[in-house]
Amino acid sequence: MTHRLIAFVVALLALAAPALAAETKPDVKGLYLLSDYPAVTVQPGTTSTVSMRLRNYGLAPERLSLAVAGAPAGWKATLLGGGQPIAAAMPATDDSVSFDLRLDVPKDAKTGTQTVTVSADGSSQHVSLPIQVTLAKELPAKLSLTPELPELRGSTRSTFEYTMTIKNDSGKKLLVSLAADAPRNFDTSFTEAYGSQQLTAIPVDAGKTKDVKLKVTPPDTVDAGNYPVTVHIGAGDAKASAKVALDITGEPKLTLAGREGLLSARATAGTESSVPVIVSNTGTAPAENVQLSANAPSGWKVTFDPKSIERIAPNQHKEVQALITPPSKAIAGDYVTTFNASARGENGSANFRVTVTTATMWGIAGVGIIGAALLIMVGAVARFGRR
Amino acid sequence: MRREGSPWQGLGVVTLKELSDHFTSARMRVLEWLVVLVALAAVYGAIQQIRDVTAEDPFLFLRLFTTAREPLPSFVSFLSFLVPLMAIGLGFDAVNGEHSRRTLSRILSQPIYRDALLFGKFLAALGTLSVSLIALWLLVIGLGLITLGVPPGGEEMARAFIFLLVTIAYAGVWLALAMLFSVVFRSAATAALVTLGIWLFLTVIWPALAPAIAQAVVPPDNQEALLVTAQMLTRLSPSTLFGECVLALLNPTTRTLGPVYLSQLQGAVMGAPLPLWDSVMVAWPQIVGLIAATILLFVGGYVAFQRQEVRA
């Protein structure tokens, strides 16, 4: 019967020769019990799963009863297929059936190597596979973490992005949790290597790697310096960590205000008024050559005394005088004037509200007119006064 | 004959007598009723409108004076025609009434100079008007306090007070005009008619006529000069001056009363109220105009009276 079947297959192959020429048929025949890792290491008191396959190469389907032998006393060895305990399997021709061997190892099991034999018995086929189970107190590291560029440099306003590779060296898929240990007030977040979704954990297949990106945002007020960040990943007992560092260069930050933080000033139309402006550097590096300028309504003349400041050290301030001259035809009321201070890319500005009052000359002229009218009256009284 | 001694001699006597005459006259009864009714009507209309319309306003109390509700005019518009009527009503027969009652020579035979007589009559009439206006002002503020339930701020009260002074000056202009014509015309009816005619002309016709005159005088291609001339001409009317004063004083966001260039508005914070002093400065030329007009009209009446034959 076997020979006839082979003859039939050969005939079929001959007919389909041009189409199947590309496919190389493995020159294997028979029934095999397979496992990716037939020797595993487990810890006492844990459950370990070994995935297995029953492969049929060119044989007719057959019912094969499965059994586990050689499990030491106290161990529990269960065969699971499709989520439930199984006792037999039936792989089709040139197909395989997957199942798991679950080993519940008691806590008090002795360290050492045990051999558990899984066998499949049919009417014509008998296969078995010994699986070596080594009991060890400590499992070898299963995760590793490698940052691509561990040292980045930038200012407080830049974002630091570290791409790192997580490798799962263990025999099963792990959900790896991510955490970063950053200095106080540093903001950290993990995202996918190409994506914006923030993550706290990422699944990594057995033996595979995955890239994640760590984004660190330093606070604005941080001083220049080197700041380490430690990244911890973990899945169950497996842990790994890596160190990255931020090299923050300081930068100046300019703010403007009046004395005592006042942002209002008074000016008289047509005359120059002096407004004290305090330029402060709240950044982390000195500001050099600070230029002062103003955006005022058209017709206004705004100059600064002095026009520029040589240097402002961090957390220091300098006072300048803004000399504001509204046009003589300016209408009384409030106007917005913007004062700017700029030092090589760094810019600070403040909106000042300038209250313009009109010159009092016309008020005096009005008093003069009333006075003249009264004089006329006095003159009339003196000239025309009579009984 | 030249006068000997102070022109003020007898001023106090005349003023007090005239005041007592005014306060006991039937005219005063009418004035009092007018005051009460106007206050009630204006405040009622303003309160209704403020309750319905006005949201948060830092100068809520000043809205009492300027807010109108159809068909009633606002308190300020009431005043702008009520004040001239009151002033003319008190002043139109000041001197010619004495003539017609044949009491003038009898008064002047007392040790009272003509100066003092005219000054006294003017001061007494102005005093009467002031009393009425102050009463009216207090009534409005009191009613406003009761109905609004919001106490006015210091600046609001200062603005309202300066508004009261301006109103008195406005009354002075019409009083001086009425007294001038009471000197010029021997018949009280003629004087009253002429004064009322001038009032109507300046208040109603002149504002419409001024732009037409400006168009006739100024070349049409100069829009700016046209605007300025028209505005200058309308300001010859005391009613216009009073209206502009009120606008600047009671509406603190008013920045100017003249034409404005767009370039002058660049960067301006709109709707920001002016400080009190600046508002007064904006209205100051108008206030000066009202006060100076009062004095000059009075001087005109004074000169005419001094040169008049009174013994006829």
Across chain A, mean pLDDT equals 83
Rounded to whole angstroms, the Cα distance separating A308 from A320 reads 9
Classify the phi-psi angles of A195: left when phi > 0, otherwise alpha if psi is within -120 to 50, otherwise beta.
left
Rounded to whole angstroms, the Cα distance separating A342 from B259 reads 39
Which of B261, B281, B290, B296 best tests the A interface by mutation, with the highest count of A CBs <10 A?
Answer: B281
pLDDT exceeding 70 applies to what percent of chain A?
91
Task: Mention every residue, 6+ apart, whose C-beta is less than 8 A from residue B59.
Answer: B156, B159, B252, B273
Are the CB atoms for B185 and B98 separated by under 8 Å? no
Which of A301, A370, A374, A375 best tests the B interface by mutation, with the highest count of B CBs <10 A?
Answer: A370
Q: Please tell me if residue B267 touches chain A, with a CB cutoff of 8 Å.
A: yes
Q: Would you state the pLDDT for residue A139?
A: 54
How close, in Å, is residue A298 to chain B by CA atoms? Answer: 7
Q: Would you state the pLDDT for residue A19?
A: 46
- In chain A, residues with a C-beta closer than 8 Å to the C-beta of B299 are 373, 376-377, 380
Which stretch of DSSP H or E encloses residue B72? none
CB atoms within 10 A of CB B293: 21
Q: Which residues pair with A233 in a beta bridge?
A: A178, A240
Give me the count of residues in chain A: 387
Structure tokens that stand for A108 in this block: 């008090």
Distances (CA, A) of A322 to A16, A346, B175: 95, 20, 52
Are the CB atoms for A22 and A67 separated by under 8 Å? no
Which of A298, A324, A334 best tests the B interface by mutation, with the highest count of B CBs <10 A?
Answer: A334
Q: B85, B285, B22, B300: which is closest to B176 by C-alpha?
A: B300
Q: Answer yes or no: is pLDDT of A224 > 70.
A: yes
Q: Is A387 within 8 Å of B114 when comparing Cβ atoms?
A: yes
pLDDT in tens, B32-71: 888 888 888 888 888 888 877 766 677 888 888 888 777 7
Are the CB atoms for A269 and A359 separated by under 8 Å? yes
Q: Is A387 within 8 Å of B268 when comparing Cβ atoms?
A: no
Q: Answer yes or no: is pLDDT of B23 > 70.
A: yes
The one-character DSSP state at B202 is: I
Q: B228, B231, B226: which is closest to B241 by C-alpha?
A: B231
Are the CB atoms for B128 and B90 separated by under 8 Å? yes
CB atoms within 10 A of CB A374: 14
Start-to-end CA span in chain A (Å): 163
Q: Is B299 within 8 Å of A360 when comparing Cβ atoms?
A: no
pLDDT in tens, A23-46: 556 677 888 888 888 888 887 877
CATH H-level, domain A143-248: superfamily: Immunoglobulins (2.60.40.10)
How close, in Å, is residue B288 to chain A by CA atoms? Answer: 6
- Split at pLDDT 50, 70, 90, the class of A140 is low
Are the CB atoms for B178 and B299 separated by under 8 Å? no
Rounded to whole angstroms, the Cα distance separating B103 from B98 reads 5
Q: Answer yes or no: is pLDDT of A190 > 70.
A: yes
Q: Is A373 within 8 Å of B256 when comparing Cβ atoms?
A: no
ipTM of the complex as predicted:
0.80
Q: Is B7 within 8 Å of A373 when comparing Cβ atoms?
A: no
Average pLDDT over residues A333-344: 86
Are the CB atoms for A202 and A210 separated by under 8 Å? yes
Q: Please tell me if residue B9 touches chain A, with a CB cutoff of 8 Å.
A: no
Map out the domains of chain A as residue ranges.
32-135, 143-248, 254-357
- Cα A72–chain centre separation: 49
Structure tokens that stand for A305 in this block: 């005394």
CA dihedral for B110, B115, B116, B122, sign (positive or negative)? positive
DSSP alpha helix (H) spans, B149-234: 154-184, 188-200, 206-217, 223-234
- In chain B, residues with a C-beta closer than 8 Å to the C-beta of A336 are 267-269
Confirm or reject CATH 1.10.606.20 for domain A32-135, answering yes or no: no
How close, in Å, is residue A160 to chain B by CA atoms? Answer: 41
Which stretch of DSSP H or E encloses residue B108? helix B104-108
- In chain B, residues with a C-beta closer than 8 Å to the C-beta of A355 are 275
Q: Which residues pair with B166 in a beta bridge?
A: none
- Split at pLDDT 50, 70, 90, the class of B171 is very high
- In chain A, residues with a C-beta closer than 8 Å to the C-beta of B2 are 385-386
- In chain B, residues with a C-beta closer than 8 Å to the C-beta of A376 are 295-296, 299
Structure tokens that stand for B255 in this block: 């920045």
Q: Answer yes or no: is pLDDT of B295 > 90.
A: yes
Closest residue in A to B305 (Cα–Cα)? A384
pLDDT in tens, A79-106: 888 889 998 988 888 888 899 888 888 8
pLDDT in tens, A347-380: 888 888 888 887 777 788 888 988 998 898 888 8
Structure tokens that stand for A40 in this block: 């595993």
Go through A273-289 and write b for each residue having 16 or more CB atoms within 10 A of its CB, e for each that does not: bebebbbbbebbbebee
Rounded to whole angstroms, the Cα distance separating B49 from B72 reads 11
Rg (CA), chain B: 22
- In chain A, residues with a C-beta closer than 8 Å to the C-beta of B274 are 332-333
User: According to CATH, what is the number of the domain A254-357?
Assistant: 2.60.40.10
Q: Would you state the pLDDT for residue A5?
A: 53
- Split at pLDDT 50, 70, 90, the class of B178 is very high
Q: Is B115 within 8 Å of A387 when comparing Cβ atoms?
A: no
Instruction: Collapse the DSSP code of A201 into the 3-class scheme (helix H, G, I; strand E, B; otherwise coil) and give the result.
Output: strand
Q: Do A254-357 and A32-135 have the same topology in CATH?
A: yes
Classify the phi-psi angles of B116: left when phi > 0, otherwise alpha if psi is within -120 to 50, otherwise beta.
alpha
- Split at pLDDT 50, 70, 90, the class of B166 is very high
Q: Would you state the pLDDT for residue A18?
A: 47
Please tell me which residue, B229 or A360, carries the higher pLDDT value.
Answer: B229
Map out the domains of chain B as residue ranges.
11-306
Nearest by CB: A370 against B291, B303, B306: B291
- Split at pLDDT 50, 70, 90, the class of B4 is low
Are the CB atoms for B58 and B81 separated by under 8 Å? no
